[in-house]
Amino acid sequence: MEGNMFFDHMVIFEKRDLENCVTLLKESGMKAGIGGRHENWGTENALLYFGLSYVEWLSVFDLETARASDNPLVQKLLNSPNGPGHFAIRTDNMQRLISRLDQAGLRTVHLPGERRRADGRLLQWELLFVDGEQEYWPFFIKWNEEDDERLNDLESSGWTGWQESSDLKIEHIEIAVGNAARTAQVWSDLLDIPRLENEGCSELLKLEGGNIRLVSMPDGRTTGPIELLLSNGQVIK
């Protein structure tokens, strides 16, 4: 498929105060901070970056606006407990991705997003959600700036890095699915994501910015992100 795929971020649903969340993260050595508000969705976030890949703690600040939002992620946030809730793959060719998924018979929801940072800068992007009944799907994001521009901005504004080691990276995100082998095959075929290894009930997929480990779960278990493993062995969940 034309267009590159990258791990973008894991979303952690957070019902508690984000300022307190950031304080606790900083006390554990994480260089986290408040990102800003999505005014059109009634949500706000805290962020922790590893290069262009990151973890987002997402919370609601305006319940009425959130309930009226057409963003599937916001609706999922409203109806889920605290903890890992979803994850995003970044694409540099959204229209090609939409066409590919449409040809496969998958229904999608495509919508714009934006957030204004505390320094006044407006960030904009596109989101794509897949309405897949048979498989768990990530959502997809395309930023309105090129990756090198975004990285330069994050570095100059102090968002990237780790207080103890700037070389710390995301090793992989672990995702619960109904059948790891089946989901790996579907994602590999439609998204051109290479399969690295098969370990019984799990599959490892290669993605720049952070690999994906799919883990088969028994029937009835909730699908979605379980945890994120860093290169130093630390886990975020």
CATH of the domain at 104: 3.10.180.10
Tokens of 93: 């060719």
Judge whether 163 lies within some domain. Answer: no
Asked if 103 contacts 37 with a C-beta cutoff of 8 angstroms, the reply is no
Higher-scoring residue by pLDDT: 199, 101: 101
pLDDT in tens, 50-94: 999 999 999 999 999 999 999 999 999 999 999 999 999 999 999
Judge whether 200 lies within some domain. Answer: yes
Judge whether 162 lies within some domain. Answer: no
Count of structural domains, the chain: 1
Q: Which domain holds residue 43?
A: 5-157+169-236
Mean pLDDT to the nearest integer, 29-45: 92
- Check pLDDT > 80 for residue 221: no
Which letter does DSSP use for residue 222 in this model?
P
Which letter does DSSP use for residue 208 in this model?
B
What does the mean pLDDT of the chain come to? 91
Q: What is the pTM of this model?
A: 0.94
Whole-angstrom distance, CA of residue 85 vs CA of residue 168:
23
Asked if 34 contacts 19 with a C-beta cutoff of 8 angstroms, the reply is yes
The residue type found at 194 is: P
To the nearest whole percent, how much of the chain has pLDDT over 90? 73
Alpha carbon 208 to chain centroid distance? 13
Q: What is the pLDDT of residue 1?
A: 52
The secondary element (H helix, E strand) that includes residue 84 is: strand 83-91
